[in-house]
C-alpha cells in the first residue's frame, strides 16, 4: 500500500511539474576526442536513473547466483553429514551383531563429516583390531590423532588398549606411562596400567598406582588387597630369582616394619626361604609372626622348617596350644614335629587327640607310621585302613 502511494505521489508530481519544466530543461554537453554527447538535464537524470537501475539489477542477479551456489554447497555438505550419521547408526547396530568388518567400513566412510570424527576413527581402529587387521587399525589411529590435535588422551588410550590386545605389553606400558603423566587418575588409564604392569611384572609400578586406583574407585577393597599381595609376591620372586636367599633377605630387611608384619607376606617369605634352603631365617620370621598373632598359615609352615633347633619350634607350638587350646591343627602339627625328632609315643598321642576332634586321612597315615616305629603292626594296619576308607568316602569318583 505504501509503495502504491509513493508511486501515485511521484506521478502527480510529474503531471504538475512536467509542464512547468518543459521549457526549462537546460543543456548538457559531454565532449571527448572522438565524439560529442549533447542532452538536456532531464535526459541526463533519466540516463543516470536507468544506469543505477541496471547496476542494481546486476547486483541482484549476482547475489542470487552466489546465494544459489552457497545453497548448493550447503546441500551437498548436509547430504554428506546426513549420510555419515546414517553410517554411524548402522555401524552401532553391526557392532551389537559382532560384525566388526562392517563396523569398521561404516564408521570410516564419511568419518570426516560425522558429528564426532574422533569417535568414528577410534571405534573403527578397535573394530579393525578385533578382526586382526593391524595395518588398518594403525591408519585409523593416525587419522584420529590428526583430527584431535588438541587432546590426544582418547587416542593414546585406544592405542594402549590395542597394543595390549596384540600382546605387545612393553609397548603398551610405554604408552601408559606417558598417559599417567597427563591423566594420573583417569579410570580407564588405571585399568590399562594394571593390566600392563601385571603382564610385564612391573610390581613396583603397580604398587605406586594402587592409591590412585583406590581413590578413583576403580577396584573394591578385596581387589585392592589382592593386587597389593600379588605385587609384593612378585617383587619377592624377582629378588629370589636374581640373588637367591641373600638377595631375598636383603630385600626383606629394606621393607618397612608395617610390610614385614603383614602375615600373608610373612608366609610367602618363609615359603621362599624354605625353598632356598634357609630354614633359620624362615624360622625367625614364622616365630616373629606367631608372637604377634595366631594364624593357621604360619602354623602350617612349622613342620616344613628343617630347623637346627627344633626345640624352639616345639616350645612355640606348645605356647600356642596353651593360649588357644589343643585344636586339631595344633595337635596334628605337634605330632608331625615330634615325629621328626623321633618321639614316636608322644607323636602318636598328639595324632590320636587330633583324630578324636576331627577325622583326617593324613593324620591316620602319620599315626600308622608312628605305630610302625613302635612295632605295633596291627594298629598301624587299622589306621591305614581307616584312612583309606575316609579317602574313598571323600572322593567317591576315585
Write out pLDDT tens, residues 226-262.
Answer: 999 899 989 998 888 888 888 888 999 888 888 888 8
**What are the pLDDT digits (tens) for 182-201?**
999 999 999 999 999 999 99
Question: How high is the pLDDT of residue 385?
Answer: 92
Instruction: Kindly state the cell numbers that stand for 155.
Output: 587416542
8 A C-beta contact, residue 119 and residue 133: no
Instruction: Kindly state the cell numbers that stand for 47.
Output: 540516463
Burial label, 60 (beta-carbon count in 10 A; 0-12, 13-18, 19+): exposed
Confidence of residue 144 (pLDDT cuts 50, 70, 90): confident
8 A C-beta contact, residue 302 and residue 337: yes
8 A C-beta contact, residue 227 and residue 212: no
Confidence of residue 177 (pLDDT cuts 50, 70, 90): very high
Q: What are phi and psi of 312, to 5 degrees?
A: -70, -40
Q: CA torsion, points 128, 132, 136, 137, in degrees to nearest 10? A: 60
Q: ∠ at Cα 72 (70, 77), nearest 5°? A: 90
Question: How high is the pLDDT of residue 164?
Answer: 92
Confidence of residue 396 (pLDDT cuts 50, 70, 90): low
**What are the pLDDT digits (tens) for 356-369?**
999 999 999 999 99
% of the chain at pLDDT higher than 90: 35
pLDDT at 16 over 50: no
**What are the pLDDT digits (tens) for 151-170?**
788 889 999 999 999 999 99
Please choose, from the candidates 185, 182, 184, 205, the residue with its C-alpha nearest in 3D space to the C-alpha of residue 194. 205
Neighbours of 163 (CB within 10 A): 21
Question: How high is the pLDDT of residue 44?
Answer: 64
Please choose, from the candidates 272, 267, 304, the residue with its C-alpha nearest in 3D space to the C-alpha of residue 286. 267
Higher pLDDT, 360 or 149: 360
| Phi-psi domain of 35 (left: phi exceeds 0; alpha: psi -120 through 50; beta: other) | beta
Question: How high is the pLDDT of residue 270?
Answer: 92
For 304, which DSSP code?
A: G
Instruction: Kindly state the cell numbers that stand for 91.
Output: 555401524
8 A C-beta contact, residue 128 and residue 141: no
Question: How high is the pLDDT of residue 2?
Answer: 58
Pick the CATH number of 326-398 from 1.10.110.30, 3.30.499.10, 3.40.1190.10, 1.25.40.10: 1.25.40.10
Provide mean pLDDT across the span 210-225.
90
**What are the pLDDT digits (tens) for 292-309?**
899 999 999 999 998 888
Confidence of residue 128 (pLDDT cuts 50, 70, 90): confident
Question: How high is the pLDDT of residue 363?
Answer: 92
Helix axes 328-340, 361-373, angle to 10 degrees: 30
**What are the pLDDT digits (tens) for 257-295?**
888 888 999 999 999 999 888 989 999 999 999 998 999
Higher pLDDT, 16 or 329: 329
Distance of CA 55 to the CA centre of its chain: 68
8 A C-beta contact, residue 161 and residue 137: no
**What are the pLDDT digits (tens) for 64-90?**
776 655 555 554 445 666 776 776 677
Sign of the CA dihedral running 207, 212, 215, 219: negative
Higher pLDDT, 107 or 155: 155
Confidence of residue 22 (pLDDT cuts 50, 70, 90): low
Amino acid at each position: 500500500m505504501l509503495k502504491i502511494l509513493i508511486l501515485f505521489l511521484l506521478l502527480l508530481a510529474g503531471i504538475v511539474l512536467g509542464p512547468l519544466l518543459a521549457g526549462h530543461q537546460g543543456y548538457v554537453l559531454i565532449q571527448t576526442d572522438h565524439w560529442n554527447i549533447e542532452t538536456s538535464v532531464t535526459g541526463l537524470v533519466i540516463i543516470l536513473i536507468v544506469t543505477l537501475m541496471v547496476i542494481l539489477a546486476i547486483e541482484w542477479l549476482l547475489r542470487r547466483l552466489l546465494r544459489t551456489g552457497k545453497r548448493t554447497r550447503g546441500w551437498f555438505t548436509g547430504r554428506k553429514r546426513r549420510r555419515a550419521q546414517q553410517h554411524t547408526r548402522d555401524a552401532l547396530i553391526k557392532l551389537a551383531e559382532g560384525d566388526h568388518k562392517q563396523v569398521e567400513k561404516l564408521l570410516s566412510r564419511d568419518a570426516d563429516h560425522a558429528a564426532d570424527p574422533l569417535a568414528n576413527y577410534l571405534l573403527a581402529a578397535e573394530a579393525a583390531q578385533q578382526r586382526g587387521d593391524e595395518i588398518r587399525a594403525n591408519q585409523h589411529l593416525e587419522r584420529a590423532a590428526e583430527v584431535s590435535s588438541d587432546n590426544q588422551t582418547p587416542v593414546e588410550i585406544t592405542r594402549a588398549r590395542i597394543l595390549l590386545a596384540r600382546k605387545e605389553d612393553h609397548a603398551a606400558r610405554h604408552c601408559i606411562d606417558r598417559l599417567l603423566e597427563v591423566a594420573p587418575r583417569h579410570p580407564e588409564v588405571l585399568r590399562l596400567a594394571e593390566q600392563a604392569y601385571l603382564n610385564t611384572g612391573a610390581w613396583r609400578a603397580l604398587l605406586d598406582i594402587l592409591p590412585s586406583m583406590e581413590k578413583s574407585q576403580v577396584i573394591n577393597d578385596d581387589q585392592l588387597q589382592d593386587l597389593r599381595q600379588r605385587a609384593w609376591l612378585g617383587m619377592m620372586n624377582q629378588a629370589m630369582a636374581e640373588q637367591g636367599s641373600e638377595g631375598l633377605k636383603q630385600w626383606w630387611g629394606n621393607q618397612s616394619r608395617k610390610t614385614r608384619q603383614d602375615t600373608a607376606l610373612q608366609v610367602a617369605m618363609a615359603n621362599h626361604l624354605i625353598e632356598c634352603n634357609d630354614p633359620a631365617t624362615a624360622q625367625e620370621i614364622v616365630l616373629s609372626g606367631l608372637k604377634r598373632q595366631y594364624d593357621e598359615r604360619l602354623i602350617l609352615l612349622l613342620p616344613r622348617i628343617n630347623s637346627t633347633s627344633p626345640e624352639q619350634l616345639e616350645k612355640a607350638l606348645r605356647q600356642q596350644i596353651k593360649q588357644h587350646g589343643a585344636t586339631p591343627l595344633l595337635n596334628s602339627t605337634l605330632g608331625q614335629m615330634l615325629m621328626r625328632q623321633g618321639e614316636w609315643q608322644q607323636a602318636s598321642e598328639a595324632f590320636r587327640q587330633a583324630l578324636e576332634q576331627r577325622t583326617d586321612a593324613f593324620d591316620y597315615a602319620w599315626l600308622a607310621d608312628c605305630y610302625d616305629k613302635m612295632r605295633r603292626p596291627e594298629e598301624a594296619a587299622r589306621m591305614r585302613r581307616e584312612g583309606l576308607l575316609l579317602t574313598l568316602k571323600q572322593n567317591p569318583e576315585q
